[in-house]
Structure 1
Amino acid sequence: MNVDVAIIGGGVSGLATAWELDAKGYSTVVLERQVRTGGHAFSENISGFMMEHGPSTINAFDPLAQNVSTRLGILSDQAYLGDGVKQRYLVDNGMLKAIPIHPFGFMTANYMSLPGRLRMMMEPFVPRGKSGTEETIQDYITRRFGSEFCERIIDPLVGGLYAGRASELSMPSVFPKMLALEEKYGSVAKGMLSKFFKGGNMPSKRLFSWNGGIGTLSRALEAHVKNVQTGVTVRSIRKTKTGYQVDCGDRGPIQAKSVVIATQPHVASGLLSTVDVEGAEAAHSISTPPLAVVFLGYKREQVSHPLDGLGFLAAEMENIGLTGAQFSSTMFPGRAPSGCVSITAYVGGARHPELARLPEQDLLQLAQKRLGSLLGIQGEPLVARVRHWHLGLPQYQLGHSTIVQTLEDTSQRNPGLFLTGNYFKGPSVAACLGKAQNTSSSVAEFLKSSTDQQDYFSGKQACN
């Protein structure tokens, strides 16, 4: 097979890249090792309950996500957060503490101590940090807002978003917009207030999915991509005079002018090892600790908690074994049959990778015990399912920006070879779509440049 572009990996990143290139008129093939596409973005209906095996929401204020939804014809199928989302919850000494969802909720709630709230209010008076200095999230937030705010607010947030630790992740790589506020206004709080009073969008103000779950996006992308092959294991990539040869084992080789690697970093490292040692080492250095998703469905009367929020997050200091949970049936319609509720708990990540490796029954027992205590649950679930992700979310640790730059420069060291995925601009679906769009533009530019050069030399030879 001969194509313009071979895309290795059929998750959202790979499918979106292929879709954009197809639209530009290039021939592509997507090679996916699993029997289905979509990667982590997989939604499953289980006896009327809908389980999200990976991501569950998209930022509704992201213009690219809305544009993609429109172009794929799935805009009318969007589902927005339900009216039942009225609180946010954090675990406080083994109990759930409700925090109002308005911007000043942490100030009015009693979750933090009075000294902790007073220290948080002093943030506008904290001097700017040294420009160009990379800090961990813990160091940065502690310096600006105090240690209690970091330990009790930001640490749970980092655990929920990245399944990581604030003490290990890079502030500029994870929260660059917060740093930009400090740089522009001299204070994060001042910057956020300025945006609020100017009518700007506050973080996590509005989220959406689709009636059929996040998997709707994967299915729509696959339907719009011209050539998708599943069950294909790519063994290696090697350079040729005309581009690259992709070894697909018993499926035969593929000749491509350009190759896009859209896999998890450890897979990318293996594929790069034969063509770009520097890039292979960079990809190998990205940690992806295991994560387990535990999905439970109950009759409504079994759960005494009102479930009137997105869910809850837990600081590592609470030591409950869960990074948090989502009240799935409260978030979006159609996530549970009438008279029932569904809850999704998350275990493992950088905090407790060993817990994510537990057998299914042990994970169910852990989740049911913790959720039973926190939410007042009685009896056995109607539905219980576990998804093990042996390689979870990429950890944007100190030095991540240097790693990313090395990987971005792969196409400079190896013209026509590109990478995309959730370890570049963020693990969210919207970030993956954005990176895929940028990657497709870079590939198209390379192919056009290569064609222009061939036309030039062919014309010159003809004239001679």
Structure 2
Amino acid sequence: MKKVVVIGGGITGLSAAYMLQKALESGEKVDYLLVEKDNRLGGKIWTEQIDGYTVEGGPDCFLADKPGCFDMARETGIEDRIMGSNEASKRTYVFANKRLNRLPDGLMGLVPTKLVPFALSPLISWPGKIRMAFDFFIPKKQTDGDETLGSFVNRRLGKEALDKIAEPLIGGIHAGDPDKMSLKATFPRFIQMEQNYGSLLRAMLAARGKMPKPKPPEPGKPKKTFFMTFVGGMGELTDTMAAKLEPNKILTGKTVTHIEQKTGGGYMIHIDGMEPVAADAVIVTAPAHEAAKVVEDMDKAMSDNLAGIPQATSATVNLAFRRSDVGSSLEAFGFIVPISEKRKIKAGTYSSTKWDYRTPDKEHVLIRAFVGGAMNQELVFQDDETLLKMVLDELKDIIGLTAAPVMHKIFRWVKGMPQYTIGHLDRVAAIEARAAANPGFFVAGGSYRGVGVPDCINVGKKAAQGALEYLGI
């Protein structure tokens, strides 16, 4: 029987292992082993139930326009647990000029498609609005070379749009620095829009005109909103996937130190404190900087390119309050903070407004603050007491919150977010070429071609399918 070792038990590794489990159950002659260095599975997806609060340490949702999560939920029998966000409160604020400004309705990506709400918004000054309108007349880029997200937005829409919209709204997805982020790797759609229409505004207006009318939800299926999650949090998905695997094929709390190629084919997986495990194929889903260490002895060129993918450090701070102690309105999804404001948090999500079932009762609220990212990583390494005080001080200044929390939970993600900087796609191509040169060896995960949960599910499945095909199964 052929054996596949999957290194890394986050959503990508779980997706790969799930596909291998299905192959095994269908009678295929394949075995597998999933190895995870932490004592839990799920990776960045980490949901805890604390005193009736549903607390998210990592992503709290997935995008509805990508089918990966829907497909996996359906396959694992929890499609009925998917739920949408509370659209009645669908509004976001930007903290700029020392006040909260509502993000104008009709903003698609970073481009306004409704002129009246945008014209009336105080977020962007009139000179800034006029500069954004110049996008209609600025010629499209003639060269094919990559550029940073910051350069692109500044070139087409101006610095104010970059500082107050693009950086906090789009750059925040990657916790990155727009002046270093590769446009080709992060938002290639903007390149296509510019090339096809010569203008972002023109492209967005054309797309708006072609948008189909919303369809009513199919019977027995949740109504689709832009953001979707699970009733019990995103951890429902990873917990369900993990439960589908055979327990004796999972190793947690074990670190893979290095991989050795066997003479004549196959690999030896060296695991700290254990005898090496023989494998016919290997799928490495650990973050790129960890994967670099694992493959260094086996393939130095691959290791160097893996190590060349930067990683940003961040933290999420969940806070619960009595509703009666919160003076300001939380009827919104939350707020984002431009780096130009020089604040110490990047954003805040009003979790109990955005989602149902996040607090034990209606008398309490749950807020989640984000700290760190590529440009403020040092803030994450403060001790818990100092970090908590810093976040509370920021919330006092931004939304006027002065109450003490009745519950809090801090999650730190050291080197937890891959940075798709200039040259990223070239590095990924080099990594994939070296992987292909090692028969039966695969790398997959959020470090390469997409950080979203559906993206990770898809590449995990694809890696497993590649391993099965290599093994002739």
> TM-score with structure 1 length normalisation?
0.92
Task: Please give the residue correspondences for 1:121-132 in structure 2 after superposition, counting only pairs within 5 Å.
Answer: 121-132=133-144
Inter-partner Cα distance in structure 2 for 1:302 and 1:180: 48
In structure 2, the CA distance between the partners of 1:28 and 1:342, relative to structure 1 (3 Å rule), is same
Counterpart in the other structure of 2:111:
none
Counterpart in the other structure of 2:456:
432
* Aligned counterpart in structure 2 of residue 85 of structure 1, from 66, 89, 103: 89
Counterpart in the other structure of 2:5:
6
Q: Is residue 149 of structure 2 the alignment partner of residue 137 of structure 1?
A: yes
Q: CA deviation at 1:159?
A: 4.2
* Aligned counterpart in structure 2 of residue 366 of structure 1, from 376, 390, 401: 390
* Aligned counterpart in structure 2 of residue 43 of structure 1, from 42, 47, 50: 47
Identity %: 28
SS at match of 1:365: helix
Counterpart in the other structure of 1:457:
none
In structure 2, the CA distance between the partners of 1:173 and 1:267, relative to structure 1 (3 Å rule), is same
Inter-partner Cα distance in structure 2 for 1:275 and 1:107: 58
Q: CA deviation at 1:214?
A: 0.7
Counterpart in the other structure of 1:18:
17
Inter-partner Cα distance in structure 2 for 1:106 and 1:67: 37
Counterpart in the other structure of 1:280:
303
SS at match of 1:255: strand
Task: Please give the residue correspondences for 1:441-452 in structure 2 after superposition, counting only pairs within 5 Å.
Answer: 441-448=465-472
Unaligned runs of 5+ in 1: 452-464
Q: CA deviation at 1:412?
A: 2.0
2:428 maps to amino acid? V
Counterpart in the other structure of 1:239:
261
Counterpart in the other structure of 2:235:
215
1:9-59 CA deviation, whole Å, 9 max, x = no partner? Answer: 000010101112332343211101111100110101111112111111101
1:12 maps to amino acid? I
Counterpart in the other structure of 1:114:
126
Counterpart in the other structure of 1:294:
317
2:300 maps to amino acid? V
Q: CA deviation at 1:353?
A: 1.0
The structure 1 segments of at least 4 consecutive aligned residues displaced by more than 4 Å after TM superposition are none
Length, aligned pairs only: 447
Inter-partner Cα distance in structure 1 for 2:189 and 2:130: 24
Q: CA deviation at 1:109?
A: 1.3
Counterpart in the other structure of 2:218:
none
CA contact (8 A) 1:179 1:188 kept: no
* Aligned counterpart in structure 2 of residue 354 of structure 1, from 361, 378, 381: 378
Task: Please give the residue correspondences for 1:257-406 in structure 2 after superposition, counting only pairs within 5 Å.
Answer: 257-338=280-361, 339-406=363-430
- Structure 1 stretch 264-273 or stretch 84-93: which is displaced more? 84-93
Q: Is residue 71 of structure 2 the alignment partner of residue 67 of structure 1?
A: yes
1:160-219 CA deviation, whole Å, 9 max, x = no partner? Answer: 2111111111111110112122222222222222222111599x9611100110111111
SS at match of 1:166: coil
Q: Is residue 244 of structure 2 the alignment partner of residue 224 of structure 1?
A: yes
CA contact (8 A) 1:29 1:228 kept: yes
Q: CA deviation at 1:3?
A: 4.8
Inter-partner Cα distance in structure 1 for 2:190 and 2:244: 36
Inter-partner Cα distance in structure 1 for 2:10 and 2:326: 35
CA contact (8 A) 1:86 1:101 kept: no
Inter-partner Cα distance in structure 2 for 1:45 and 1:315: 31
CA contact (8 A) 2:67 2:454 kept: no
CA contact (8 A) 2:326 2:403 kept: no
RMSD, aligned CA:
1.8
In structure 2, the CA distance between the partners of 1:296 and 1:181, relative to structure 1 (3 Å rule), is same
CA contact (8 A) 1:84 1:330 kept: no
Inter-partner Cα distance in structure 1 for 2:195 and 2:274: 53
Counterpart in the other structure of 1:248:
271
CA contact (8 A) 1:159 1:323 kept: no
2:5 maps to amino acid? A
CA contact (8 A) 1:32 1:232 kept: yes
In structure 2, the CA distance between the partners of 1:250 and 1:156, relative to structure 1 (3 Å rule), is same
Q: Is residue 205 of structure 2 the alignment partner of residue 193 of structure 1?
A: yes
CA contact (8 A) 1:410 1:418 kept: no
Inter-partner Cα distance in structure 2 for 1:132 and 1:173: 13
Q: CA deviation at 1:422?
A: 0.6
1:58 maps to amino acid? F
Unaligned runs of 5+ in 2: 108-113, 215-223
Counterpart in the other structure of 1:458:
none
1:284 maps to amino acid? A
> TM-score with structure 2 length normalisation?
0.91
SS at match of 2:161: helix
- Structure 1 stretch 371-380 or stretch 209-218: which is displaced more? 371-380
1:323 maps to amino acid? K
Inter-partner Cα distance in structure 1 for 2:354 and 2:289: 33
